[in-house]
Every structure is written in C-alpha cells, then in structure tokens.
Amino acid sequence: MIDLSGKSAVVTGSARGLGRGIAEKLAQLGAQVVISDVNAEGAEQAAAEIRTQGYLVDVFAANVADKDQAHALIQFAIEKYGKLDILVNNAGINRDAMLHKMSMEQWDSVIAVNLTGVFNCLQPAAQHMRERQTGRIINISSASWMGNVGQANYAAAKAGVVGLTKTAARELAKFNITCNAICPGFIETDMTRGVPPKVWDLMVSKIPLGRAGQPEDVANCIAFLASDQAAYITAEIINVGGGMIL
C-alpha cells in the first residue's frame, strides 16, 4: 500500500488531464499537493473539485517556461509546507507540424515549455532537496521522444527530458534524490481528444492492451515512484503505454 502522508508535492500543468489525475492521486495517498498551471482559473477549479473529496491541495499559478515564475512556484511549496518532497514536471504543449512547415514559433514554444520548463522547476527543487538529502523528481517525457512524424519540436523536447532526467539522476544520487522519467503512450486527455476519429482508431490499433490509457494509469506509476518503496529506482525511463509501438 502506497502511503504519501507527511509528504509534499508540486505537480506542474495540473489544471486538467494527466497533471490533474496525478495531483488527485498523490492527494488521495496523503500528500499535500500544489496544483500549478499557467491557466490560473483552471487550477482553482481543479483544486476546488479535489477539495470536495476531502483532500489537501493548494494552488499556485505559474508559467513554467518563465524562470522567475517556476522558481516562485517551488519557493511557494517550500514555504507553505516547510519542505518539498516530490516534484512532478508534467506541464506540456504540442504544436505539431511537418518539418518543412514548422515555424520558429512552433519550435520555440514547445522547447520553452516542454524542456526549459522542466529545467526551470527541477533546478531550484533539486537545490532544496540536496539540502534535505532526500527527494523525488519525476519528469513526464513521451513515447514520441524516439521520433514521431509531425512532432520534430515535441520529440526533440521530450528526448531532451530523457537526457536531463538521466543527468540529474546521476548528479543527485549521492544526495539521496531519485529522478526518473515517465513516457506515456496514448492517454485520453484534452491533448489527444481532438484527434480525428480515424487517427484515434489508428493509435489504439498500435496498443497491444487495446485501449487508450487513462490519466490514472500514469498517476499510479508516479505514485509508486514518489513513494518510499521506490527508493532504489533512479535514472529510469518508464513507458506507460499499454505496450504501444509507435
């Protein structure tokens, strides 16, 4: 049984989708959780809904692509709870286009949120965790990190997250901090619900378990990595995709 009581957590991009599911799961398991999102209103609404279930959550609106806002988010959690045990870097966007049509804006925005955003939160959190000699960092990459048509920007950012995760894991291991990445496959959220039915069916046909994932499928894995039971797991890149073959 996973028990996160007494632990504090930050989940970025948690107004909806995977982040929301992760925040809810960590709170259900006893953690105090900061719901954070660039969408302040959405974050407030998600927090209000989770509170009605009787769980402890706070809200801090932040754009992770902005270094100052990301640092303020980590500082908020440390001041609010006296410490930060768990950081889940989940915030992400996609701006898909074929290489020959990809604009600089599409490239820059995805790198800024999906890669620099992870660094912006990880750096101050790791500094705090080093001082406490304990911590869990979990970064959300994607099955697309190995390359996916129409996603040069997204795949590059998510591959960057893999390299960042493995490097952070090696640098931080001696401080008893673990750092792992999750690669979700095809999960039913607002990000994926917009795809045409034909594409949806094609994606599901590539999943041996025969269905799209749910946020809870990813949240369960994160809850384990955040727990004391996962103390000996670091620098891992874990697929949660029903066996999906891209």
Which positions are annotated as active-site residues?
154
Residue number, 91 or 172, with CB nearest to ligand NAI = 91
Is residue 190 part of the contact set for ligand NAI (CB under 6 A)? yes
Partners of 74 in beta bridges: none
Q: Which residues, other chains included, contact 126 with Cβ-Cβ below 8 Å and sequence gap of 6+?
A: 135, 137, 168, 172, 177
**How far is C-alpha 1 from the chain's CA centre?**
23
Choose the binding region for ligand NAI from 98-106, 162-170, 183-191, 230-238 (rule: CB under 6 A): 183-191
Q: Which is nearer to ligand NAI, 78 or 203 (CB)?
A: 203
Reading across the β-sheet that carries 86-89, which strands appear in turn?
A: 57-61, 32-37, 8-12, 86-89, 135-140, 177-184, 237-240
Scan residues 15-44 and list those touching ligand NAI (CB under 6 A).
15-19, 37-39, 42
Question: Using the rule CB under 6 A, is 184 a contact of ligand NAI?
Answer: yes
Q: CB-wise, 8 or 142, nearer to ligand NAI? A: 142
Q: Which is nearer to ligand NAI, 31 or 183 (CB)?
A: 183
Backbone angles phi, psi at 168, to 5 degrees: -60, -40
Specify the residue, 17 or 242, whose C-beta has the smaller distance to ligand NAI.
17
Minimum CB separation of residue 141 from ligand NAI in Å reads 7
Q: Which of 142, 165, 178, 227 binds ligand NAI (CB under 6 A)?
A: 142
Supply φ then ψ for residue 5, to 5 degrees.
-65, 140
Interaction between residue 160 and ligand NAI (CB under 6 A): no
- What is the spatial distance between Cα 172 and Cα 170, in angstroms, rounded to a whole number? 6
Output the smallest distance, CB 188 to ligand NAI, in A: 7
| Dist CA 25 CA 192 (whole Å) | 21
Cβ–Cβ under 8 Å, residues 127 and 169: no
Residue 169 touching ligand NAI (CB under 6 A): no
Of the candidates 11, 111, 112, the one whose C-alpha atom is nearest the C-alpha of residue 66 is 112
Chain residues in the site for ligand NAI (CB under 6 A): 12-13, 15-19, 37-39, 42, 63-65, 90-93, 113, 117, 140, 142, 184, 186-187, 189-192
